Amino acid sequence: MNKLCSSSKFLYTLKSSVAVAEKDARIYYLKPPVIIFGILFPVFFFLAFSLGRKIPPHNLIPSLVAMTLFFTSSSVGPLVTPWERTARTYERLLTTPVSIFSLLSGDTLAGLLFGMVISAVPLIIGPVFFHTSIHHPFVLLGGMLISSLCFSCLGVLLSSPATEAPSQVMMLSSLVRFPLIFISGIFIPLENLPFWGKLAAMISPLTYATDIIRYSLGGSGFYPVFLNIAAILAFSAGFFSFALRFHQKNLEKGI
């Protein structure tokens, strides 16, 4: 009986998370901040660093995929909650029998799917225009999925401040995300970084995502695959549990 109850609870949690993700996809994917910070920004950022420099395709494509995945997956989360607070729909969600866990899972799922779909574009650009090949497709798919999950969780964590101004949260998210670009082996491979750079790279989840994607596309990984996977999953769990904690605290304070 208890087993049945917990399985039906799980199913209900899953269904409500999917409903929230579907709502997020319909409403927020085409909002200007998501387009600007999630799609245009990584493209221009990448062009600014790659044009005029002779970067080999096996370094260029993994960086482009990792950066796109990072920006797109983490761009939905920071927008949803502040936007809903401003639009006065957040309170409506809180009155439904959906837990904060389900709400945040739904937001995470929306970011994950957005990241995966948009990142498929640079992934296709590689073999079509630069004749790169995918050496480890399953590792690539798995790596991209968990990386997208991780960045989406980061986005949800960044939506935690109890503000009604989406612009404030977008600013905060830029403040957190931009420095990570420079320390994660995107533009300079990890092996070429100085010692302090390698140390700094360890605290960025983007490092492990870039490394696993680079390995999958035929480059050499700096860390073993299992370590990359473990690090990405640990970051995901950390980001999500902190987000959950902050959102629950906000609820307790009535904000």
Tell me which residues touch another protein (CB under 8 A).
Answer: 12, 15-16, 19-20, 22-23, 26-27, 87-89, 91-99, 251-252, 254
Q: Which is nearer to another protein, 87 or 199 (CB)?
A: 87
> Least distance in Å: CB of 32 to another protein?
13
- The Cα 58–Cα 214 span in angstroms is 7
> Least distance in Å: CB of 92 to another protein?
5
Q: Which is nearer to another protein, 24 or 211 (CB)?
A: 24
> Least distance in Å: CB of 253 to another protein?
9
> Least distance in Å: CB of 115 to another protein?
21
> Least distance in Å: CB of 111 to another protein?
18
The most distant pair of C-alpha atoms in the chain lies apart, rounded to whole Å, by: 66
Eight-state DSSP code of residue 163: -
- Do 152 and 112 meet the contact criterion of CB atoms below 8 Å apart? yes
Q: Which is nearer to another protein, 19 or 120 (CB)?
A: 19
Contact partners, residue 223, CB within 8 Å, separation at least 6 = 208, 211, 231
Sign of torsion over alpha carbons 90, 70, 153, 118: positive
Q: Which is nearer to another protein, 16 or 147 (CB)?
A: 16
Shortest CA distance to 63 belongs to which of 225, 224, 230, 207? 207
Residue with tokens 């299992």: 226
SS3 call for 30: coil
- The Cα 193–Cα 186 span in angstroms is 11
> Least distance in Å: CB of 172 to another protein?
24
Question: Identity (one letter) of the amino acid at 42?
Answer: P
Q: Which is nearer to another protein, 30 or 128 (CB)?
A: 30
Q: Which is nearer to another protein, 99 or 174 (CB)?
A: 99
> Least distance in Å: CB of 91 to another protein?
5
Contact partners, residue 54, CB within 8 Å, separation at least 6 = none
Shortest CA distance to 205 belongs to which of 134, 156, 146, 158? 146
Q: Which is nearer to another protein, 237 or 251 (CB)?
A: 251
Residue 142 C-beta-side C-alpha neighbours within 13 Å: 13
